[in-house]
Structure 1
Amino acid sequence: MEIESVQLPFGQPVTEAYISRTEPELESLFGSHPAEDGDWKRRAKWLKDQSGSRVSAKSLAAVLARYNRKFNNSAEVHSSIEAIAAGAPVVVGGQQAGLWTGPLLVIHKAISVISAAKHAAKVTGQAVVPVFWIAGEDHDWDEANHAHILNPDNQLVKIAVPRPDGSRTSVSRSKVTQEVMLEAARLLGETLPDSENKRELLARLTTFAKQSETLSEWFAHTLGWLFGKEGLVLLDSDDPELRKLEAPMFKRIMERNDELESAYRRGADMIRQHGYEPQAEVAEDSANLFLFQGEDDEAPGERTLLFKRDGRFVNRRGTVSWTGSELLRIVEETPERFSNNVLTRPLMQDYVLPVLAAVLGSGEIAYWALTAPAFRSFDMQMPIILPRMSFTLVEAAVTKHMMKYELSFEDVAYRFEAYKEAWLKEQDELDIDHHFEAVKQQFSELYQPIVELVSAVEGGLAKLSETNKQKIMEQIEFLESRTRDAHARKHEAVIRQLDRIAVCLWPDGKPQERVINWTVYWNRYGSAWLEKLLEAPFDCLGGHRMIYL
């Protein structure tokens, strides 16, 4: 297998400093670093010593077993759950449930979790279980409801599932009809080119659709099919049974909410003191919890962010409110009505699971830095923060064309349009640019005496003469554009090859992993591409690799 390492921009200065270890004081916010084997061992020991402060291993295993029997029912997964019941720590990573898992980065995160668990087991000398946290509690439907597919002409096609009628609730509570899901699967089949793998792929996804009522369930079935044999355990953060285990932490967050808000503010201040901007909003008077409104509330079923005002908890508009006592009663009686925001989710995850390491993307690492004082405030320690690995899949035809046109990956990512324009210009033996530029310059010079003449006749005609000049210029530029297009058509085959390189490696001006759905590659290569990713050497600093297919 041919692999090439490249460095993509981190996007988040805090993340870059943490991964590169350029600022020890900033690194101390996280409390550990994945490059230090001693930190893995210390964290494993701490988890064992503090086991009584979390959800019991047996209770957790029972909930995980019930959920995975339905969506991820393989022998390897149940062995993983048995290890959790016996006290094994976990490596966890998660993502919002998306259509057919969404962009490739979700697959990369699952692979990072699996590879990191194997690495951790070697370092600590004990079983470590990979866990994928499906963020089904999130309610951003437009982020979850679509997938981008490459059609036979290598054009990106967006397939989306419309939002079901009803309240703005979580993805895991948004019921999608069979007709809608099967129509999405039909569109996928219509979009993908024919291949020897297409029939099985569509049959699997169609079967999973028939077994699902929500995008989260379709997501879970799909991820279980892809990674169940690797022992990857799944959980849905909006699982009512999981919520029951979380109730004591929700109560703790409610009772110590002001203290927690203060801790997040300290975290934001510490980030600023290091010269960075916080990457998550620490909203004024936010309780950092969501509540699903009840039947007697303003918007039944809607996931509502809570704020503190005048001794009560209210929605953002202040149109519905609860007392602290009412919310504590809800925690006791129906904990499934609560869910976390981005700042309390790390605490809840660490309370529910024995987290040895959390696999995070660049943006996630940046906002987790805010939570360091909150962890300490609750007598907890932040787990080892592990940057997820990322990949770009490079097909043989793309490699061939890149070599033909002497294009590097960096050229495609950062200089592609300039390269394509320059290439076309090199083929322009008639020097189209020069001729049209000369004509425009000559026309402007010839026209100037007319402007002066009509202005002398009547001052009001000056504006009309400028308008007339602009219209003529526009006609010249229109002809120039059509001439350029005609010239480009003479080189259509090359332009198609160049555009294929761009759409495959850097679609819509973004990394491949942030746009294209994995079904494109399964359709072309079956499971071979996924096996190559699973075989890639683990990198505790994340990194980006080009995987040549």
Structure 2
Amino acid sequence: MQNDCISYQESGYFSKLITAYLDQQSDVNSLYHRFPTLENFKAQLEEKAVTFNSNIRSVLVNELEKQYKETVTSTATANHISLLKETHTFTITTGHQLNLFTGPVYFIYKIVSTLNLCKQLQEKYPAYHFVPVYWMATEDHDFEEINHFKTQENSFTWQKQVAGAVGELSTEGLDEVAQQFFALLNQSEAAVYLQKLFSQSYLSHDNLADATRFLVNELFKEHGLVIIDGNATGLKKLFTPYLLQELNHQTTYKEVSQTNLQLSKYNVQVNPREINLFYLQKELRERIIFEDNCYKVHQTTIQFSPEALKREVENYPERFSPNVLLRPLYQEVILPNLAYVGGGGELAYWLQLKTNFNAFKVCFPILVLRNSVLLVSEKQAKKIKKLELQTADLFLPQQQLLNDVTKRISQHNIDFSLQKQHLETQFKQLYEIANQTDKSFIGAVKAQEIKQIKGLENLEKRLLKAEKRKHEELLQLVKHLQNELFPNHSLQERQLNFSQFYMDYGPDFIDQLFQKLNPLAQNFNIITLP
């Protein structure tokens, strides 16, 4: 594989808030604790060692051992789970929804980024141990976000009526998806592996949480990845004091609302509720509302007095599920975690949370933007070269790309900027004359300037349109190439499933990602596949 890159900022696919974070702009400095550099992890290690309740470690390891009881565990993963008992062991965590067959391929990039960061930290700080963790979002209830995956030509969707947390969903009905998927696979060794992987994951497990654990473990167990399901009574008990504080004082609402005011010039990712918890039972996950001195479960008849709710939390903490703003706090309470590896959307809401962590007296993790990748086939790379493009050009909005190519290949200068400058110079002289003679003419001069500039712009557009017609065949090739690499005018990694690339390149596809991805480099990777 050949590797190239552009900066995240240049790609045009990241929000203003994330680019401000990457640029370490002063107006967002207060929203994070430490910027992700290898050197900054030293202070993070020391702070987490002091603030993390080491008594939690034994509970954490016991719960992980329970969760792995039915899973074939690699030596590397078993060793990592055991090491979590030690005070000099810390975690690097990523999390994701239980997307069908991993969903978009960036799921793979997320985990590779996390594993590679652990390796870098192990080299830098050999006196410590670093455990890579994948947090399964088993308590999520957005089924339509996870019930499908796509290849270049096909989409596979799991049709099902659902309610409650997705981790508990029965895998019934996935045999139909399997039939559709398998019918389109060839007889290659890679295709046989994919078929076996899908079958063993979804057709041999009863619920989505177990199926996802098996799938991710099969893909990454040899690298020592530890998979955790936060929907566990033993772990929720550790979070009980924080649940009670949230219910009694609406801490998250107060703190995040203040931070959102600071973020007013950015598009805020998530708005807090007065209580950022759901009530969780079988086939039920509904938010908790406080009104008339009573806690009510939305769209149900379930309600509690303040005293009764306190007893419910203490006796059944597993019935309380954090929402997107409180889940990060839960994660950091039960894990000896140093950093969270996430996408731009995730980091945007993490940046809303630092004051909330301070209010709960929990150490805020380092935020690492996961690696992003554009995979280019050798055939596509040859087309790029033949069309005299840079791969970075293809990140441009399509009309801008076509305009730029047209201007480059045209025999005429389609850019009328020079002519506009001449006009502005001429009108500057006219403004001076008007000021010295009759100021009432200034309005007429301005109107004439606008008219003539607009006339030049219209001529420029007409010439550009004519040149596009002249070079239509070549521009269609450019357009087709960009559509291949950016399906639905979106990033490839957000659209296509990993099976698309595994079919063509086999396990070498993932192996090469481990070699190429540097989670602290802050570059969008462009990788040419042989």
Band the TM-score falls in, shorter-chain normalisation: 0.7 to 0.9
Residues 290-301 of structure 1 aligned to structure 2 (within 5 Å): 290-292=278-280, 301=283
Residues 138-177 of structure 1: per-residue CA shift (max 9 Å, x gap): 1000001000013xxxx2x110111245xx2111022121
Residues 319-347 of structure 1: per-residue CA shift (max 9 Å, x gap): 65322323222222222211111111111
Match of 2:14 in 1: 11
**C-alpha displacement of 1:59:** 1.3
Task: Give the counterpart of 2:313 among 313, 324, 331.
Answer: 331
Which residue identity is paired with 2:342? L
User: Cα gap change, 1:84/1:237 in structure 2, threshold over 3 Å: closer, same or farther?
Assistant: same
The unaligned stretches of length 5 or more in structure 2 are: 410-470
**C-alpha displacement of 1:540:** 1.5
What TM-score comes out, normalization by structure 1 length? 0.78
**C-alpha displacement of 1:541:** 5.0
Looking at structure 2, the residues matched to 281 and 530 of structure 1 have their Cα atoms a distance apart, in angstroms, of: 37
Looking at structure 2, the residues matched to 506 and 358 of structure 1 have their Cα atoms a distance apart, in angstroms, of: 27
Task: Give the counterpart of 1:270 among 262, 266, 277.
Answer: 262
**Does residue 83 of structure 1 match 2:83?**
yes
**C-alpha displacement of 1:203:** 1.4
**C-alpha displacement of 1:409:** 3.0
Match of 2:168 in 1: 173
Looking at structure 2, the residues matched to 176 and 328 of structure 1 have their Cα atoms a distance apart, in angstroms, of: 35
Residues 455-534 of structure 1 aligned to structure 2 (within 5 Å): 501-534=481-514
Match of 2:467 in 1: none
**C-alpha displacement of 1:113:** 0.8
Task: Give the counterpart of 1:22 among 21, 25, 30.
Answer: 25
User: Cα gap change, 1:499/1:16 in structure 2, threshold over 3 Å: closer, same or farther?
Assistant: closer
Say which SS state the counterpart of residue 239 (structure 2) adopts.
helix
Task: Give the counterpart of 2:322 among 340, 360, 364.
Answer: 340
Residues 378-429 of structure 1: per-residue CA shift (max 9 Å, x gap): 11221111111111111111112222223433443334467679999x99xx
Match of 1:213 in 2: 206
Preserved contact between residue 386 and residue 542 of structure 1 (Cα < 8 Å): no
The unaligned stretches of length 5 or more in structure 1 are: 294-299, 428-486
Looking at structure 2, the residues matched to 279 and 323 of structure 1 have their Cα atoms a distance apart, in angstroms, of: 32
Residues 96-175 of structure 1 aligned to structure 2 (within 5 Å): 96-125=97-126, 126-150=128-152, 155=153, 157-165=154-162, 168-175=163-170
**C-alpha displacement of 1:265:** 1.9
User: Cα gap change, 1:335/1:236 in structure 2, threshold over 3 Å: closer, same or farther?
Assistant: same
Task: Give the counterpart of 2:370 among 366, 372, 388.
Answer: 388
Give the number of equivalent residue pairs: 465
Looking at structure 2, the residues matched to 540 and 65 of structure 1 have their Cα atoms a distance apart, in angstroms, of: 31
Say which SS state the counterpart of residue 276 (structure 2) adopts.
strand
What TM-score comes out, normalization by structure 2 length? 0.81
Say which SS state the counterpart of residue 365 (structure 1) adopts.
helix
**C-alpha displacement of 1:248:** 4.2
Which residue identity is paired with 1:400? K
Match of 1:445 in 2: none
Match of 1:44 in 2: 45
Task: Give the counterpart of 2:387 among 373, 397, 405.
Answer: 405
User: Cα gap change, 1:527/1:36 in structure 2, threshold over 3 Å: closer, same or farther?
Assistant: closer
Preserved contact between residue 390 and residue 542 of structure 1 (Cα < 8 Å): no
Which residue identity is paired with 2:148? H
Which residue identity is paired with 1:358? Y
**Does residue 311 of structure 1 match 2:293?**
yes
Residues 509-547 of structure 1: per-residue CA shift (max 9 Å, x gap): 110110100011111111111111111252425321011
Preserved contact between residue 311 and residue 323 of structure 1 (Cα < 8 Å): yes
User: Cα gap change, 1:120/1:405 in structure 2, threshold over 3 Å: closer, same or farther?
Assistant: same
Match of 1:461 in 2: none
**Does residue 74 of structure 1 match 2:105?**
no
* RMSD value, Cα: 3.0
**C-alpha displacement of 1:367:** 1.3
Looking at structure 2, the residues matched to 164 and 258 of structure 1 have their Cα atoms a distance apart, in angstroms, of: 33
Looking at structure 1, the residues matched to 403 and 362 of structure 2 have their Cα atoms a distance apart, in angstroms, of: 56
Preserved contact between residue 368 and residue 519 of structure 2 (Cα < 8 Å): no
Match of 2:244 in 1: 251
Looking at structure 2, the residues matched to 183 and 379 of structure 1 have their Cα atoms a distance apart, in angstroms, of: 48
Match of 1:280 in 2: 270
Which residue identity is paired with 1:269? L
User: Cα gap change, 1:33/1:248 in structure 2, threshold over 3 Å: closer, same or farther?
Assistant: same
**C-alpha displacement of 1:31:** 1.7
Looking at structure 2, the residues matched to 537 and 396 of structure 1 have their Cα atoms a distance apart, in angstroms, of: 19
User: Cα gap change, 1:382/1:201 in structure 2, threshold over 3 Å: closer, same or farther?
Assistant: same
**Does residue 361 of structure 1 match 2:343?**
yes
Which residue identity is paired with 1:306? I
User: Cα gap change, 1:494/1:224 in structure 2, threshold over 3 Å: closer, same or farther?
Assistant: farther
Preserved contact between residue 132 and residue 232 of structure 1 (Cα < 8 Å): yes
Looking at structure 1, the residues matched to 70 and 239 of structure 2 have their Cα atoms a distance apart, in angstroms, of: 21
Match of 1:58 in 2: 58
**Does residue 198 of structure 1 match 2:191?**
yes
User: Cα gap change, 1:358/1:415 in structure 2, threshold over 3 Å: closer, same or farther?
Assistant: closer
Say which SS state the counterpart of residue 131 (structure 1) adopts.
strand
Q: Percent identity?
A: 24
Preserved contact between residue 278 and residue 322 of structure 2 (Cα < 8 Å): yes
Looking at structure 2, the residues matched to 12 and 124 of structure 1 have their Cα atoms a distance apart, in angstroms, of: 33
Which residue identity is paired with 2:12? P
